[in-house]
Amino acid sequence: MGIERVNSRMSDIQSRILALQTQQATKTAAATSTATGTTSASGASFASALADAMGTQTTGAANKSYSLNSKGIPTELAAYGNGKIPANALSKVGNTNHKLWAPAAESLNQMIADAKAQGVTIGITDSYRSYEEQVDVARRKGLYSQGGLAAKPGTSEHGWGMATDLDLNAKAQKWMRENGEKYGFTENVPREPWHWAYKPKSV
Ligand SMILES: [Zn+2]
């Protein structure tokens, strides 16, 4: 485990402790008091004790929760309609021209930065798609239901600004499968290992 990873893990964990102290999860409370009582514990063992106690953690923007509709779409986006999200609800990914729903972009930026600090390069090839762009992709790549790679226009996760297509080498693909979930990103389409959907927590 590199020092950047430990430091990043530690800050995750410290923010999780604050959140957890207000919950009454018995198991976690016990683990927290044990770990914080051991002032001589090294950073790494402190981190691993808490990580073990808490299981999969989410980090940064992925910790926030949103009002979602029955299909898991944030109600603020559902009101606009798929492929019709206004620019002010989208944010740029890094210094690219790619855009996602602002919380998804924030989490993706953090994920790309954390991966980079660990020597893993995550590129991005696609992001938000307007309705017109979905029509174009369907024409070029064929409908998924007919063996192609495009969702029916108006139904794509890209049309909500909640999915990104990533450029991943083997190392990065492995890293994503191990870490994507912490940032809210899920590999959820068979035949498309590059497609990662953002799944916000529900309030
Ligand atoms: Zn995709």
Those residues whose C-beta lies under 8 Å from the C-beta of residue 63, and which sit 6 or more positions away, are 15, 19, 201
Q: What is the pLDDT of residue 6?
A: 53
Band of pLDDT at residue 12, cut at 50, 70 and 90: low
9 band by pLDDT with thresholds 50, 70 and 90: low
pLDDT of residue 24: 42
Question: 65 CA distance to ligand 1 centroid (A)?
Answer: 23
From ligand 1's centre to the CA of 163, what distance in Å?
Answer: 6
Which one-letter amino acid corresponds to residue 178?
Answer: E
pTM score, whole prediction? 0.72
- The predicted pLDDT at position 45 comes to 58
- Tokens 């916000």 belong to 200
Ligand 1 (ion): which residues have CB within 5 A?
A: 165, 195
Alpha helices in 55-169 (DSSP H): 75-78, 102-117, 131-141
Residue located via tokens 């600090």? 117
User: Could you tell me the distance, in angstroms and rounded to a whole number, from the CA of residue 142 to the centre of ligand 1?
Assistant: 13
Where is pLDDT greater, at 85 or 12? 85
